[in-house]
Structure 1
Amino acid sequence: MKYKRILLKLSGEALMGNQKYGIDPEVLMRYAKEIKAVSDKGVQLAIVIGGGNIYRGVEAAATGIDRVQGDYMGMLATVINAMALQSALENIGLYTRLMSGIKIEQVCEQFIRRRAVRHLEKGRIVIFGAGTGNPYFTTDSAASLRAIEIEAQAVLKGTRVDGIYSSDPEKDPTATRFSNISFKEVYQKGLQIMDMTAFTLCKENGLPIIVFDMNKPGNLLKIAEGEDVGTLVTM
Structure 2
Amino acid sequence: MLKGGSDDEVVPSVTERTPIITHREPIVETSNKSLEILKSIVYGGLTESLASLSVVTSAASADAATLNIVALAIANLIGGLFALGHNLKELKAEQPKRSNTETIVDQYKEVLGERKNFILHAFIAILSFIIFGLIPPIVYGFTFRENDEKDFKLAAVAGASLLCITLLSIAKAYIKRPNSYITYFQTVFYYVSTGAVATVVCYLAGDMVKKLIERLGLFEPETNFAF
Coarse TM-score class (shorter-chain normalised): 0.3 to 0.5
More helix by share: 2
Tell me the TM-score normalised to structure 2 length: 0.33
Rg larger for:
2
More strand by share: 1
* Higher RCO structure, 1 or 2 (CA under 8 Å, sep 6+): 2
